[in-house]
Amino acid sequence: MGGAKGQPGKVTNMIRVLRFSSGEMTQQELADRVGVSRQTLNAIELGKYAPSLDVAFRIAREFDRPVDGVFRLEDA
């Protein structure tokens, strides 16, 4: 599940790219649609915070993508 020494991997995402390819959706618009604060969405988008599974699914649904089409788990 993690890196070679059992370390968790880093969650990366395509949120910024997807927002801009969706009519330049703002962070606030996406945050409102998925039920989180803009600050939380910003932290997720920057890779500083991994979303809960529920939030990850809601974000993916907004872009009509599977979760792994928005988020990736990189090896540590």
Q: Write the CA distances from 73 to 27, 38, 52, integer angstroms.
A: 22, 23, 14
Per residue in 21-72, pLDDT tens? 989 999 999 999 999 999 999 999 999 999 999 999 999 999 999 999 999 9
Give burial (CB, 10 Å; 0-12/13-18/19+) of 7: exposed
**How far is 26 from 8, CA to CA, in rounded Å?**
30
**How far is 59 from 56, CA to CA, in rounded Å?**
5
What pTM was estimated for this model as a whole? 0.85
More confident residue, 37 or 2: 37
More confident residue, 38 or 76: 38
Tell me the sheet residues that pair with 68.
none
Domains defined along the chain, listed by start: 23-69 (1.10.260.40)
